[in-house]
Chains A and B, each alone.
Chain A
Amino acid sequence: MTEPLLKVRGLRIGATIHPPGEKSRHIDIVHGVDFDLAPGRVLGLIGESGAGKSTIGLAAMAYGRGGVRITGGTVTLNGRDILSTPFRDVRRLRGGEVTYVSQSAAASFNPAKQIMEQVTEAAIFQGKFTRKEAEDRAIALFRKLGLPGPDTIGSRYPHQVSGGQLQRCMTALALCPQPDLVVFDEPTTALDVTTQIDVLAAIKEAIRDTGVAALYITHDLAVVAQVADDIMVLQQGRMVEMGTTDQIINAPKEDYTRALVSVRSITHDEKTPTQTPVLSVTDITARYSGTDFDVLKDITVDLHPGQTLAVVGESGSGKSTLARVITGLLPPSAGQITFAGRPLSPDLAARSKTDLRELQMIYQIADTAMNPRQTVGTIIGRPLEFYFGLRGAEKQRRIQELLDAIELGKGFQDRYPAELSGGQKQRVCIARALAAEPRLIICDEVTSALDPLVADGILKLLLSLQKSEDMAYLFITHDLATVRAIADSIAVMYQGRVLRYGPKSQALSPPFDDYTDLLLSSVPEMRLGWLEDVLDSRKMESGGN
């Protein structure tokens, strides 16, 4: 067996945190992790937030972000222990032997400098190439990564190219010095799904062609399955399981890994539409004041009682604007909305208390959806008080019922939102909506800020509540796996229009329009070779045309 490129033994990482109003204290982030990475191999590091995966990735560069410090163990790169190397030599290795691709290229590029200068900087500074060689390499990499105008894109400034393109430029930046190892830290997470697939394919091809080794960090197992040779599963700073990609995906040994692999496998049988919809949106057109284009154009959809309509689209498709129109925050310029058989006033101020009560909303970021100065009891209790006039013991009883309904036990009433976990916060938001006894809840990307397993729990809760309380959901999301899991009918939105609308079984079966086809085929699937299959079939189609 060849000598590993990167050898990590007993890696322990800690950080000093400064909680408000308390003494700073030390916490451990990574508790002893071992792994090897052979030259030219790709190791996926996977785990939920708090697993320590980014921290481990940066430790391979002997770097700790913020107050993070490496407290124990060894990291050996090319046969040299980089943790005990003098700082001067560590600097020579960063940007030369090992490079980094961050999640947000937009923030990681210096806004004041041209892309070419930044892409070639490390290669020239570390003395690996001359300026001319480095620039030729950069242009070749731009071409390989499928960037438009590879010869000239380097003279642009970061704000002049799109997010997906900048993420590829970042990959070029990492590959330009011809490193032995690249650390990819969630490189496609911030991208739309149809952009993600292209960037993912470009990264994979670049890794293969340059023969570089990589640590690929992500929370999305389906993504890492496409690029990694091996996968290490992490949970709260400890290794759960490590194996080949094939073994992890197809024969996971540990329960936690099994849970990760089977995430989003909730099945939901589609309900048939009833006679009268609870919500009818007819020919809605809307624009924001001060702009001169319609963000929504002739939207018509129906939602039936006790069912779920999933509104799917990428950023800029207008799906969240549709929610603002329905809630009355943005009166439409044309069209009408009927709710529970009565016309719904376009303006929030003119709506009756019953309308307000029966139409509730849950937000993407539970953190900002709850007043940090109010306790859970106050947050859930206010709608009870406001809509039903409940007071005292009766209100307390009802609050407890609601807390039970969202599977939070006693003792949560007096807590503040800051004392809850991400999933618990979102549950409290659900309880607040539930407290109004609504007919319809608008769910705006309610699971997209959550870790997959937590998100699954929220989706299951929403489904069981829908059954018991007979509520309809208007579910806004960019995530097709979520759609498959919960929708009865689907509306696909693109550039302010509904491209496709119908019951789930119909909407998700061919023949597709081009965009829906692209969207559906871009969602990573949890199997090996998915990326190649999609790219092949797309090539065939375009070859056939």
Chain B
Amino acid sequence: MHPILLLVAQRLALGLLLIFAASILIFAGTSILPGDVAQSILGQSATPQALANLRAELGMDQPPVTRYFNWLGGVLQGDLGTALTNGRDIAESLSSRLGNTLFLAFWAAIIAVPLAIALGLIAVRYKDRWPDKVISAVTLTTISIPEFMIGYLLIFFLSIQLPQLIMSLEFLSDGVRGWLLANLRFSSVAMMNDSMSLVEKIKSITLPIMVLTLVVLAHMMRMTRAAILNVMQSAYIETAELKGLGMLRIIRTHAFPNAIAPIVNVVMLNLAYLVVGVVVIEVVFAYPGMGQYLVDHVSKRDVPVVQACGLIFATVYIGLNLVADIVSILTNPRLRHPK
């Protein structure tokens, strides 16, 4: 077997191990910490009898290790348990929400990734000149505001102020204004149901996509810039310049092959970040995804739901990081062509 395959297999095994360890950590985080779930659900006024009943129902009378393996056994068979608050099957409630969350993250990524790489390249091309400085100032600002606030800023300016602005533009004919209002309508609530067409769905989530794009764009662009600059400062780029090659050819044939791994790394890291950013954005736009579901049930102290959501988020996060690792192994010439 080619040594590189062995390395990839090793990395995959490590990823699985990490997910397993993360499941232990999540379970431990909800079980061993001083908080008493039964007490927090029923409140301070609960009778000892009611507490004992609930504890038994939750299986709290069993040792934690047994409970963990029961839970893990269920998870492996696709059984995520039932929600404490409404008694529904968690896996069932999650399936459509997970789809919605991935839908949102997917479209944000489709826009953010190419944009970030393009801006990163522009910043490198015009390093220390005004395009670079403008880009870096704008990204610095977006990094400095929490995601949910960017969400409300956009709602305020795009879905509230913009229509008013259009209305006040009296030099436009009614027809033009009507057209503008109809087409520049940004919904502050991201509705989502199965009867909507794809275009309707995307229209409905325009604002959340914009927010998520802004949020990851800044990080991704900064890191892309750094990664490309790092490659461009290598001695072999100077060699290429001294061969008289043009800038584009240098970037295409000499910089790009060496920049793939760091850029993929940046992209994956930010996609992982995006998946987490989704949690908050879903709350802002009342989007029926997994993040909103998770946050709701955290306040309701519905531990089985929290565990299930936590595990899924962690798995996606670890998975994306794993992809970055594997790409950097596969593109490393030293590993691809061993001595």
Contact = CB atoms under 8 A, between A and B. Distances in A.
Consider the complex of A and B and state whether they touch directly, i.e. have CB atoms less than 8 Å apart: yes
Interface of A: 61, 63, 65, 90-96, 99-100, 102, 104, 107-113, 118, 121-122, 125-126, 156-157, 159-160, 173
B20 to A, nearest CB: 28
B87 to A, nearest CB: 56
B257 A112 contact: yes
Contacts of B339: 159-160
Nearest to A160: B339
Nearest to B234: A107
B333 A111 contact: yes
Contacts of A160: 337, 339
Interface stretch (B48-56, B110-118, B236-244, B318-326): B236-244
Contact of A99 (B238, B242, B331): B242
A112 B258 contact: yes
Contacts of A111: 236, 258, 333-334
A125 B235 contact: no
For chain B, give the interface size range. Answer: 20 to 34
A108 B241 contact: no
Nearest to A88: B246
B317 to A, nearest CB: 29
Contacts of A173: 239
A94 B235 contact: no
Contacts of A93: 244
A104 B244 CA distance: 20
B236 A122 contact: no
B229 to A, nearest CB: 13
B245 A125 contact: yes
A104 B239 CA distance: 11
A160 B335 CA distance: 11
Interface in B296-339: 331, 333-334, 337, 339
Given A107-B235, A160-B339, A91 B333 contact: no
B334 A159 contact: yes
Given A111-B333, A157-B333, A157-B337, A61 B242 contact: yes
Given A104-B235, A107-B234, A107-B236, A112 B333 contact: yes
A102 B253 CA distance: 20
B104 to A, nearest CB: 36
A63 B236 CA distance: 15
B244 A125 contact: yes
Given A113-B254, A157-B337, 7 more contacts: A63-B242, A102-B239, A107-B234, A107-B236, A108-B236, A108-B238, A160-B339
A51 to B, nearest CB: 21
Contacts of B239: 100, 102, 108-110, 118, 173
Contact of B244 (A95, A107, A159): A95
B244 A96 contact: yes
B333 A159 contact: yes
B243 A109 contact: no
B235 A92 contact: no
Nearest to B338: A160
Contacts of B236: 107-111
Interface centre among B239, B253, B339 (most CB of A within 10 A): B239
A95 B254 contact: no
Given A108-B238, A109-B236, A111-B334, A94 B243 contact: yes
A111 B242 CA distance: 17
B159 to A, nearest CB: 47
A109 B236 CA distance: 5
B157 to A, nearest CB: 40
Given A159-B333, A159-B339, A121 B243 contact: yes
A113 B243 CA distance: 15
Contacts of A99: 242-243
Interface centre among B242, B246, B258, B337 (most CB of A within 10 A): B242
B333 A95 contact: no
Interface in B235-269: 235-236, 238-246, 249, 253-254, 257-258
Contacts of A95: 242-245
A64 B98 CA distance: 55
Contacts of A65: 238
Contacts of B334: 111, 157, 159
A543 to B, nearest CB: 34
B258 A94 contact: no
Contacts of B244: 90-96, 122, 125-126
A169 B241 CA distance: 18
A109 B257 CA distance: 13
A170 to B, nearest CB: 8
A441 B89 CA distance: 76
Contacts of A121: 240, 243, 245
Contacts of A110: 236, 239-240, 254, 257-258
Closest 3 CB pairs of A and B: A95-B243, A94-B244, A107-B235
A157 B258 CA distance: 14
Given A108-B236, A157-B337, A113 B242 contact: no
A418 B284 CA distance: 54
A132 to B, nearest CB: 19
A156 B339 CA distance: 9
A126 B258 CA distance: 24
A102 B337 contact: no
Contacts of B333: 111-112, 157, 159
Nearest to A114: B337
Nearest to B235: A107
Nearest to A106: B235
Interface centre among B236, B249, B253, B339 (most CB of A within 10 A): B236
A160 to B, nearest CB: 5
A173 B240 CA distance: 11
Nearest to B245: A125
A100 B246 CA distance: 17
A63 B244 CA distance: 11
Contacts of A108: 235-236, 238-239
A108 to B, nearest CB: 5
B4 to A, nearest CB: 14
Nearest to A61: B242
16 contacts: A94-B242, A94-B243, A95-B243, A95-B245, A99-B243, A100-B239, A108-B235, A108-B236, A111-B333, A118-B239, A122-B243, A122-B244, A122-B245, A125-B243, A125-B249, A157-B334
A90 B240 CA distance: 14
Given A107-B236, A160-B339, A100 B242 contact: yes
B315 to A, nearest CB: 32
